Structure 1
Amino acid sequence: MVAASERHPKVLIVEDEESLLFTLAHNLKREGYQVLTAARGDDGLRLAREKQPDLIVLDVMLPGIDGIQVCRMLRRDSDVPIIMLTALGGEGDRVAGLDTGADDYMAKPFGMRELMARVRALLRRSGPRAQPDLGPSVIVSGDLALDRERREVTRNGRVLRMKPKEFELLLFFAQHPGKVFTREQILDEVWGYDFYGGPRTVDVHVRWLRQKIEDDPANPARLRTIRGSGYLFEG
């Protein structure tokens, strides 16, 4: 398979408003992207799984399956960057989208230049970030072992299935045990300074990690919330 950096990235647009779908596809093609389109949620889900796009622009209100459900189903086995679009601009709708695993959120109407900037930023950050070559290649923390070279996490000898960003977030914490980090600091270190998503992205990924590394995710002992400050990893 040819790496995304060695070809034109592939963007899937799932949007049922015909004029907006055409405009988005036209502008993305002008930027040099390969473009796939779907006007229904179920068709978009099928294309996402079959064609493995590098990024998805996903409307919330769709026939077939709505965008929230599409995002939730994709997040079961994919870390593809997702930008959600909606005519509903309330905070509750934005939170719902981010809670299902979307990376960014834009309320209609939006500026095409801003959307293109967000697409570029997410594509830059969607691949594994380079980690400084500090410390051992395998980090052991209690019953956890993180292999930086193999990008693999085991717990009591059992391999944990990790999405790329989950691994990078856990690695960051494991490299800084006992230190409190704000959500903004974590975004800068793990996602990058030009990431457009908000702190809610960190909360969602922390919740996913706790499901895998904690005995009781509802009462975490290893990856703790420090009220008013952020998160702390107990090494």
Structure 2
Amino acid sequence: MSATLLVVEDEKELRELLRRYLERAGYAVVTTASGAEAIRLLGAGGIDLAVLDLGLPDVDGTEVLREARRGDGSDTAGNGTGGAAGVPVVVLTARSAVENRIRGLELGADDYVTKPFSPTEVVLRVQAVLNRARGTAGRASEVACYGGGRLCVDQERHRVSVDGEPVDLTPTEWGLLTALASVPGRVYSRYELVNRVRGYEFAGYERTIDSHVKNLRHKLGPAGAQVVETVLGVGYRLGLDRDA
């Protein structure tokens, strides 16, 4: 299971609760509290499904939903590539009125969960939507490549190769690379990377991220610093575009 999910929820506790449950289910998870940021991430591609709260503080969630479904049908692979077109959406909202549910489904939501909710139920609904999408579109390649095939990441087999040569990574290095590769070009802070790789129980671990990045770059070879780029004062990003 290697799908990348976008969780858009302005309540921090709910956002992190969903992230933990979805990551335990085997998904890569990107989170944001901003509708504008969600639209940007969807436009960048690489998102396989969005869990979307409609009650966002900056942009109405229905606008994010429209963006996710814009051009629906043009991405027949249904795997999140090719921008925002056809990204499945599970709507998560306190808007429980029947007309609101119907409106969300009319705009293209694949499922609708109202608050309060069970995070386990959300995970099951996400799995069901992804299974339906894959069943309709057929199975896509499980290997994601970047930079014209320079870097390839096989999530299912837990393998990485650079210029065709396998690279052995520690679990922490693997977590760092797959976090960065989930949305190429997106800048992750050290704090975000700690939470993606280790979780909140590892207090103080943020200080060691730079050492792990240094080791990861060394293993990736001479171009390691171009593959894993430093954004001064912010964090790190994957410097290669995902191949079509």
TM-score, normalised relative to structure 1: 0.51
Name the CA shift for 1:108/1:130 in 2 (closer, same or farther; >3 Å).
Answer: closer
Name the CA shift for 1:54/1:130 in 2 (closer, same or farther; >3 Å).
Answer: closer
1:64 aligned residue = 58
Candidates 72, 93, 98, aligned match of 1:91: 98
Query: For residue 32 of structure 2, what is the amino acid of its counterpart?
Result: A
Kindly, what percent of the aligned residue pairs are identical? 42
**Aligned partners of 1:76 and 1:59: how far apart in 2?**
18
Does structure 2 retain, via aligned residues, the 8 Å contact 1:80–1:126?
no
1:115 aligned residue = 122
Candidates 60, 73, 80, aligned match of 2:87: 80
Does structure 1 retain, via aligned residues, the 8 Å contact 2:9–2:52?
yes
Does structure 2 retain, via aligned residues, the 8 Å contact 1:60–1:67?
yes
Helix, strand or coil at the partner of 1:36 = strand
Say if 2:25 is the partner of 1:25. Answer: no
Query: For residue 19 of structure 1, what is the amino acid of its counterpart?
Result: E
What are the residue-to-residue correspondences of 1:152-167 with 2, within 5 Å? none
Query: For residue 40 of structure 1, what is the amino acid of its counterpart?
Result: S
Instruction: State the Cα distance separating 1:71 from its structure 2 match.
Output: 0.7
Name the CA shift for 1:90/1:51 in 2 (closer, same or farther; >3 Å).
Answer: same
Name the CA shift for 1:130/1:93 in 2 (closer, same or farther; >3 Å).
Answer: closer
**Aligned partners of 1:36 and 1:97: how far apart in 2?**
22
Instruction: State the Cα distance separating 1:128 from its structure 2 match.
Output: 5.3
Helix, strand or coil at the partner of 1:129 = helix
Helix, strand or coil at the partner of 1:37 = strand
Instruction: State the Cα distance separating 1:52 from its structure 2 match.
Output: 2.4
Does structure 2 retain, via aligned residues, the 8 Å contact 1:86–1:106?
yes
Does structure 1 retain, via aligned residues, the 8 Å contact 2:21–2:120?
no
2:136 aligned residue = 129
Pairs aligned (count): 125
TM-score, normalised relative to structure 2: 0.49
**Aligned partners of 1:38 and 1:67: how far apart in 2?**
13
2:44 aligned residue = 50
Segments of structure 2 that go 5 or more residues without pairing to the other structure are: 72-84, 139-244
**Aligned partners of 1:37 and 1:54: how far apart in 2?**
13
Segments of structure 1 that go 5 or more residues without pairing to the other structure are: 1-6, 132-235
Name the CA shift for 1:127/1:105 in 2 (closer, same or farther; >3 Å).
Answer: same
Does structure 1 retain, via aligned residues, the 8 Å contact 2:19–2:29?
yes
What is the root-mean-square deviation of aligned Cα atoms in Å?
Answer: 1.6
2:32 aligned residue = 38
Structure 1 runs (4+) deviating above 6 angstroms are none
